[in-house]
Copies of this chain bind each other. A is one copy, B any other.
Amino acid sequence: MTTTLAPVFAALGDDTRWAVLARLGEGPASASALARELPVSRQAIVKHLEVLVAAGLVESERRGREVVHRALGGRLSDVARELDRIGRTWDARLARIKALAEE
């Protein structure tokens, strides 16, 4: 269920998307609200939100006539754990190779 983390990084690779995430990290907001606070159109925000939702980083909920979005920190922590695991594996392999060569 480690839903490939590639899409997550693809999502995190854009500055505007980070701005959106950072803002949502402060608290839930609607697309229009975000468009007001950021230097891009609402449509652009909407597209970014779609990407973020697809990556599992944001959750959306219809609330009356507006749609409220909130950042999912848990997902980010999951990715972090996975990343750390991979990093350690690399270093471990490298150490083994190095030890093998030193004799």
The residues of A with any CB-CB pair to B shorter than 8 Å are: 6, 9-15, 18, 24-28, 70-77, 79-84, 86-94, 97
Contacts and interface: CB of A to CB of B under 8 A. Distances in A.
* Copies of this protein, total: 2
B86 A73 contact: yes
A22 to B, nearest CB: 9
A41 to B, nearest CB: 21
Contact of A25 (B13, B14, B86): B86
A6 B76 CA distance: 14
A83 B86 contact: no
Contacts of A82: 80
Contacts of A18: 6
